[in-house]
Chains A and B, each alone.
Chain A
């Protein structure tokens, strides 16, 4: 009789920032693996000579790719900084102020991302 596990999403547990940090960490992690594979593919075109490589780089420095790079940066920033947050917990530091650390991670990531956006804007607008 007692096999009545209701079907529930893992988000049924969600009630605080810790869960969102975990989910975002996983999602950005997967995205970064995907990026890494693409990165290796791009770099490996250099094996086909300087001409092929330069041609590809010309495409990758065009406007849509710079905008995509900003997305990449956001993922790297969150994943990296939240990684430090998790390391803190493994060192036994800040476990009771995990929410504050989460928002500090978000704030630091937003700050660095904002500065980068400011520096990149001329390139996006076409120099």
Chain B
């Protein structure tokens, strides 16, 4: 048996979030997400949480598990090595209900950095090719699944509501570093200013949180270099 302390909050009814305890019959390779399924099916059908793919690809089930932002589907109960597992919604984001947070700001900022290829030259008959070396430069950033774990862990994003945040900035660098993209100047302009890349204080909370082991700080530092005229 594993004890789950889960943060409950229904803004329409509750004045403040509170923790509710559930005893889960944990099986050997059970993930935290499966434990949440167990709770909904057997103990409390009113618990709300987001999930979709169950395989660490969709980025829906990011939540705070034992003090760290993680994907519930990717986190096995046994790897936590704890008798009590505390699960709460991603910090510093508005709660819709229980473990479901409002990601509107996150995606608004994501859209701000124009997360798509910009290249006005007519597309070749087949495809825009890239060498292996050119592709390797963006290998890491391309793994982002937009779960919001880094954004929620970022102290700067929590204290400056306009800060673009690690996910959006990583995406900005992903296209800046892409050999097929032709909008370097425009992209650098998008991440300039006091709420852009330069706001990052290199706390590395984002890198600690990323379930895909991306280091957003690397991309952000590269963007800062670009803003100072460095070719990256």
Contacts and interface: CB of A to CB of B under 8 A. Distances in A.
Chains A and B bind each other: yes
A4 to B, nearest CB: 4
Given A16-B205, A89-B202, A4 B217 contact: no
Interface in A1-46: 1-6, 8, 10, 12-19, 21-22
B218 interface: yes
Contact of B204 (A2, A8, A90, A98): A98
Contacts of B11: 1, 4
A61 B68 CA distance: 47
A92 B221 contact: yes
Interface stretch (B52-60, B87-95, B125-133): B87-95
A12 B91 contact: yes
Interface string B178-212: 00000000000000000000000111110111000
Given A2-B94, A6-B17, A92-B225, A13 B205 contact: yes
B36 interface: no
In this complex, the member of B94, B203, B224 whose beta carbon has the largest number of chain A beta carbons within 10 angstroms is B203
Interface string B88-119: 01011111100000101000000000000000
B95 A14 contact: no
A22 B154 CA distance: 12
B96 A2 contact: yes
A3 B68 CA distance: 24
B153 interface: yes
Contacts of B168: none
A15 B67 CA distance: 7
B222 A92 contact: yes
For the complex of A and B, the 6 pairs showing the least CB-CB separation, nearest first, are A18-B204, A16-B208, A4-B11, A12-B91, A15-B208, A22-B203
Interface of A: 1-6, 8, 10, 12-19, 21-22, 86, 89-90, 92, 95-96, 98
